[in-house]
Amino acid sequence: MLHFSYRMEIRYENPVGRCYFTIKCIPREDARQRLLDLKFSISPETTCCFGADAFGNRQIYGCETIPHDRFVFQAEGDVEILRTDYEEKAAWENVGIFRVSHGKCVPGPGLTSWYRSLGIAAPGEARSSGVCGQDRPLGVAVLGEARSSVVCGQDRPLDIAALGEARSSVVCGQDRPLGIAASGEARGFEGQDRPLGFADSAPGEDRGGSGGDDYGICMALMHRLHREFPYIPGKTSVSTTAEEAWSLGGGVCQDYAHIYVTLLRMAGIPARYVCGLIIGEGASHAWAEALCGGRWVPFDPTHDRPVTEGYIKLGHGRDAADCAINRGLMWNGGAQSQIISASVEQ
């Protein structure tokens, strides 16, 4: 179980006469987490309503009619983290919007050029080979050295070649290298990496078609992005796009998530931006989820790892704007400043 607290204080240069607000700071409930307890307060006090947006993100909304020069929201609660390594099974009617570029996740010349240098087959251009009687894309041609192995009697390039140590597993009676070798926090399952200590329900179970290849591509892109895009606070802002962050040569968790989502969609993998809280950080955090074998699987490119037990998900969307914790409309107020503090403890 994780206990979280979140406090947001907005100070205004001049009194605000009226303010409409929407706050998305209630943890979601899905296959990976369950909300056990929640307490919150708003100052100045006002009547609030509860609801959900088009993505199912929980929200608190209302209107402040008392003139004020400070707005404070505080929340705390307990979340049970369940032993599974995916967020939820996909509702296929909602997948399409996460396939296409949108908002801050639109590639420009810089990201496009780098993506092409990775040698990933573009959607519609991928070739296929028979695996257990099913067609599947070849995945990644060259992210390291490209070699080939026989799968069900056909030659095909490796999903990922030697991004770490290469191990093998048996597919249809043939040996084949795993997509990504294990790091200190990962181990192989069904030919793919998986966080340690998780239950047997894995992204590879009940996979059809290319789920296994997609997971390998997700891991490979995360490793490469983490290696080539440095974490530099203060270099970007909340309005920075994925392409702008890449051109600037560094950024923070929002930028990692935006770039990663952009790259996954370029590879033909539906992906969504996630906002939440994690152990060890004093503010909100951002990561991403990718659709692998019909399940939304979470990855944290900032820390170069699959999402594990120390994460609390608040919301998801096409980019950061869809799941921003605070949005509002106010009359007067002038310049404003914001102070955020957050904590997550076991």
At residue 29, φ and ψ (nearest 5 deg) are: -120, 125
| Domain contains 338 | yes
Number of domains in the chain: 1
Longest CA–CA separation in the chain, Å: 74
Q: What is the pLDDT of residue 288?
A: 98
Q: What is the pLDDT of residue 276?
A: 97
Could you tell me the two tokens for 84?
Answer: 């599974």
CATH number, residue 28: 2.60.40.2250
Size of the chain, expressed as the number of residues it contains: 346
CA 34 to chain CA centroid, nearest Å: 18
Q: What is the pLDDT of residue 229?
A: 98
| Domain contains 72 | yes
| Domain contains 68 | yes
Q: What is the pLDDT of residue 94?
A: 85
Find where tokens 């899905």 sit: 30
| Domain contains 141 | no
Could you tell me the two tokens for 3?
Answer: 């206990």
DSSP 177: E
Q: What is the pLDDT of residue 90?
A: 83
Q: In whole angstroms, what is the distance from residue 227 CA to residue 287 CA?
A: 16
| Domain contains 229 | no
Q: Considering only CA atoms, which of 222, 228, 157 is closest in space to residue 186?
A: 222
CA 49 to chain CA centroid, nearest Å: 28
| Domain contains 170 | no
Cα angle 228, 229, 231; round to 5: 135
Q: What is the pLDDT of residue 182?
A: 34
Cα angle 173, 175, 181; round to 5: 135
Q: In whole angstroms, what is the distance from residue 56 CA to residue 67 CA?
A: 32
Q: What is the pLDDT of residue 85?
A: 81
Q: What is the pLDDT of residue 121?
A: 65
Q: What is the pLDDT of residue 123?
A: 57
| Domain contains 96 | no
| Domain contains 13 | yes
Cα angle 289, 56, 53; round to 5: 120
CA 14 to chain CA centroid, nearest Å: 37
DSSP string, 232-282: -TTSS-TT--HHHHHHHT-B-HHHHHHHHHHHHHHTT--EEEEEEEETT-S
pLDDT tens digits in sequence order for the chain, 346 residues long: 999 999 999 999 999 989 999 999 999 999 999 999 999 999 999 999 999 999 999 999 999 999 999 999 999 999 999 988 888 888 877 899 999 999 999 999 999 999 999 988 655 554 333 333 333 333 343 343 333 333 333 443 333 333 333 333 333 333 333 333 333 333 332 333 333 333 333 343 333 344 558 999 999 999 999 999 999 999 999 999 999 999 999 999 999 999 999 999 999 999 999 999 999 999 999 999 999 999 999 999 999 999 989 999 999 999 999 999 999 988 888 898 999 999 999 9
| Domain containing residue 71 | 2-82+323-345
